[in-house]
Amino acid sequence: MPIRLLFKHIVLLISGLISSAVFAENTYKIDPEHTFSSFEYQHWGLSTQRGRFDKNTGSISMDTENKSGSINLEIDANSVNTGSDIFNRAMRSSNFFDTDKFPKISFSSDKMIFNEDKLTQVTGKLTIKNTTLPVTIEVTQFNCRFMILYLREACGANGYTKILRSDFKVGRYVPFVSDEVTLYFNVEAIKE
């Protein structure tokens, strides 16, 4: 079989796999190597500070044809990473995340909002320190495609939401350190 014809068959096979995958509910496992949750806040009116959580797990179910799906994301609060060991210990202490008592932060959603084929928002519930409140994540980027690296479909998204940390019992030093925090989610997930 000539190379050109073989290549054409491979492209058609991949296209068929993608087409059949796009029009049904599929489950994707969050890729912990490419998924990070981060946060940003104003520090004493001086600068914007950032940190992130390095360990994220979970799954996403999505039906793009019916524009529906669900997300379950679990964040290891002990994986907080500010770039400073001293500050990391402070963030894990009872003054902030109290990771001995509350080792997990979670987000769960069963509502995805689309504008035509573009995912624009995800609404759900965020739980920090055993306090659960509704949040809406604004999706700034969303793509799905066949990944030759995995030989499977993968989806990725970026989004953010704003919360008041005092609502989640993490309000130490308010108002000197801003109460409002922007949470960012960078997620990649691989079809199971």
pLDDT tens digits for 68-126?
A: 999 999 999 999 999 999 999 999 999 999 999 999 999 999 899 999 888 999 999 99
- How is the chain split into domains, by residue range? 25-191
β-bridge partners, 185: 37, 159
Residue 28, both tokens: 């994707």
Residue 47 has a CB neighbour count (10 Å cut-off) of: 9
CB 69 within 8 A of CB 63: yes
Share of the chain above pLDDT 90, in %: 81
Average pLDDT score over residue span 124-139: 98
- Give the largest Cα separation in the chain, rounded: 71
**What is residue 64's predicted lDDT score, i.e. its pLDDT?**
82
CATH 2.60.120.10, applies to 25-191: no
Residue 87, both tokens: 């500050």
User: Does residue 20 surpass a pLDDT of 50?
Assistant: no
Residue, of 149 and 164, whose pLDDT is higher: 164
Average pLDDT score over residue span 34-53: 94
Cα separation, 87 vs 33, whole angstroms? 24
**Strands, E assignment, 36-179:** 36-43, 47-53, 56-63, 68-76, 80-81, 104-115, 118-128, 131-147, 152-164
Residue 105 has a CB neighbour count (10 Å cut-off) of: 23
Name the DSSP class of 139.
E
Q: Which of 23, 9, 76, 80 is nearest to 50 (CA)?
A: 80
User: Worst-scoring range by mean pLDDT, 16-25, 55-64, 128-137?
Assistant: 16-25
**What is residue 14's predicted lDDT score, i.e. its pLDDT?**
55
Phi, psi angle pair for 6, to nearest 5°? -60, -45
CB 166 within 8 A of CB 129: no
Cα separation, 118 vs 1, whole angstroms? 40
User: Does residue 22 surpass a pLDDT of 80?
Assistant: no
